[in-house]
Structure 1
Amino acid sequence: MGKTARQLTRLFGNPQADLSEPPARKLQFSSGACILDAYLYPPANGGEGRVTHIDARRSDGAIVDRVSCVNALRVR
């Protein structure tokens, strides 16, 4: 939470999807263990978008623990 797109890319590599629906931006990262969707919004006072919400799931759609997913993505 609170990370910029650049910081996420440093942690997880290039996203598999990068979707923009102003003012939001969604970055999707995946591994064999899970899929992580990070939603970024710009601060009220302007500036670079930051993560305000994340969703984590398996490829079959089942919800997984967000912390476990983040750790699995960082390992690769």
Structure 2
Amino acid sequence: MRRLLITLPLFVAACTAPRPVVETPKPAEQVPAQRGDLIGLSTEEIGVRFGRPDLTVAEGPGTKVQYRSRSCVLDLYLYVAPSGQGAPRVTHVDARTPAGDVTDIAGCEAAIDAR
């Protein structure tokens, strides 16, 4: 009985020891490359390139300008420089299908140009 009392705690400790965690690597999400030729453009320069936007929305300190084609939606986000000087400029670009799936920005630009 004495032997059982001595080995029982060791047995319980062995059963409750943490097991190593094996992490399964997640597949890398494919993010379409963002073209840099829209970054830094002003509202006027965007208008020259794509024409009148389909939607313009003030979002906090910035503005979202949206263009649509049958195959995609292009969102351009413009903000004034941190110094507060100068015209708002494009700082970020998103492109998606009308269903909301991420799509290639370059292809969306071409679709907007062709409309």
TM-score between the two structures when normalised by the length of structure 2: 0.62
- Greater fraction strand: 1
Q: Which structure carries more relative contact order (alpha carbon 8 Å, separation 6+)?
A: 1
Q: Which of the numbers 71, 88, 93 marks the counterpart of 1:49?
A: 88
Letter of the structure 1 residue corresponding to residue 109 of structure 2: V
Q: 1-side partners of 2:80 and 2:97: how far apart?
A: 28
State the Cα deviation string for residues 22-71 of structure 1 (Å, max 9, x = none): 42010000111210000000112311000000110011001110111111
* Residue 21 of structure 1: how far off its partner (Å): 2.5
Instruction: Supply the distance in 1 between the matched residues of 2:114 and 2:47 (Cα, whole angstroms).
Output: 14
- TM-score, normalised to structure 1, is 0.91
Greater share of residues in helix: 2
Question: Alignment partner for residue 66 of structure 1, among 95, 102, 105?
Answer: 105
RMSD: 1.0
Equivalents in 1 of 2:74, 2:42: separation in Å? 15
2:16 equivalent in structure 1: none
Q: In the alignment, residue 74 of structure 1 is paired with which amino acid?
A: D
Secondary structure of residue in 2 paired with 1:64? coil
How many aligned positions are there? 76
Q: Is residue 69 of structure 2 the alignment partner of residue 31 of structure 1?
A: yes
| Consecutive aligned runs of 4 or more in structure 1 exceeding 6 Å deviation | none
Q: Which runs of 5+ in 2 are unaligned?
A: 1-38
Residue type at the aligned position of 1:13: G
CA distance in structure 2 between the partners assigned to 1:62 and 1:21 by the alignment: 22
